[in-house]
Amino acid sequence: RVAWYIMPCNTIQNHIRLYKMDVIAIGQLKGGVGKTATTHALGTTLSERGYKVLMIDTDPQASLTGACGLVGTKPTLSDVLGGAEEGDKTMQEIIKVLSDDLSIAPSDLTLAKTDRGLIQRLRPIDVLKPIIESLTGFDFVLIDSPPSLSQLTLNVLNSAHFVLIPSQPAAADIRGLEMYFETLQEIYKYNPALEVIGILPTFYDGRLNHHTAAVDALISKGYPVLSSRIGRSVKVQEAAGHGKSIIEYDPENKRSEEYQELTEELLSWLKK
C-alpha cells in the first residue's frame, strides 16, 4: 500500500486550506533527476505570479546556490543548523534576495559536516522544522533536497507539508523512487500530514518507447504521476551557468513552457 493513501481525502484538503505558507520539498534519492532545476524554475514562476517565495538549498553540493550566482557566499544554511551544537545564525540572517518576490537560503560544502553532526543532537530529525516554522512573509518555501538518505533529507521531509518528486523515466531512477517512498512511510511517524503532490517525469522524451513505458508502469502500480512532463535541454544547464533559471534565461524555450505548465498544475493541486 503506497504512502499517499494514508490520510483521508477530506483531511488532506483541510490541511491544504489551512496552511498560510506552503512548504514543498523537491526530492528524490537519485541524483541527476532535475531537482535543482525544478526548484529554481518553480521559484521563478511562482514569484512572477506575485507569490513571495523562499528557496532553501539543503544540498552540500550547493547546486541551487551556484545556479543563483551565489557561489562562495557566506553565511549559509550550515551556520543556521550548526551540527552537534546549534548554529550561531538565524535563517533571516542568511537569506539572500534575488528579486522582489524571490529569495534563497544558500548552501555550501560545510553542510556535509553539519549532516554528520546532526546525529549527535537530542532529536536530529527536528532541527530544521522549528527554523522553517519561524519564517514569516513567504507564501511558498521550496526546499531543494540532497540526493541521499541523510539527516538533512530526513529533516527536509519532516519540515515539509508537501513533496514533489522529479524522476527520470529510467530503471535506476525508478528504483530510487521506490526507496524514496519507503522513506516517506517512515517519515509519516514524525510528520503524518506530509502529502505527495506527485512524481514529475523529467528528461522525458515521448518519442522513446522506454520512457512512455516507464511512466505507464508507474501509473499502473498506483504511483501519483503528474500530467506535466519536463524534457531535456542543454539550455537548462546554460541558464544555471549564467546564474539564472531557464525561465529567466530563455522564456521561449520549450522547457520554460513546460515549467509554466507545471506551475499551473501545482497551483491547481493546492487549490490556489
The pair phi, psi for residue 123, each rounded to 5°, is -130, 80
Report how far apart, in Å, the C-alpha atoms of 220 and of each of 36, 141, 195, 225 are.
28, 32, 20, 10
Which position has the grid cell 513546460?
A: 258
End-to-end CA distance of the chain: 29
Q: Enumerate residues 6+ apart whose C-beta is below 8 A from 142.
A: 24, 26, 39, 42, 43, 46, 53, 54, 55, 56
Q: Could you give the dihedral angle defined by the CA atoms of residues 257, 258, 260 and 263, in that order, rounded to the nearest 10 degrees?
A: 180
What cell does 238 get? 546554460
Please give the single-letter amino acid code of residue 234: V
Q: Comparing C-alpha atoms, which of 140, 149, 136 is closest to residue 178?
A: 149
pLDDT tens per residue, the chain (272 residues)?
A: 344 433 333 334 444 445 689 999 999 988 889 999 999 999 999 999 999 999 999 999 999 999 999 998 999 999 999 999 999 999 999 999 999 999 999 999 999 999 999 999 989 999 999 999 999 999 999 999 998 889 999 999 999 999 999 999 887 778 888 889 999 999 999 999 999 999 999 999 888 899 999 999 899 989 999 999 999 989 898 999 898 999 999 999 999 999 999 999 999 999 88
**What distance in Å separates the CA atoms of residue 156 and residue 257, rounded to the nearest whole number?**
28
Radius of gyration, alpha carbons of the chain: 17
β-pair partners for 24: 142, 162
Which position has the grid cell 522553517?
A: 132
**Quick check: 55 and 40 in contact, CB under 8 A?**
yes
**What distance in Å separates the CA atoms of residue 215 and residue 204, rounded to the nearest whole number?**
10
pLDDT on residue 19: 67
Q: Comparing C-alpha atoms, which of 69, 144, 76, 142 is closest to residue 113?
A: 76
What cell does 258 get? 513546460
The mean pLDDT of the chain is 90
**Quick check: 230 and 255 in contact, CB under 8 A?**
yes
The pair phi, psi for residue 141, each rounded to 5°, is -120, 120
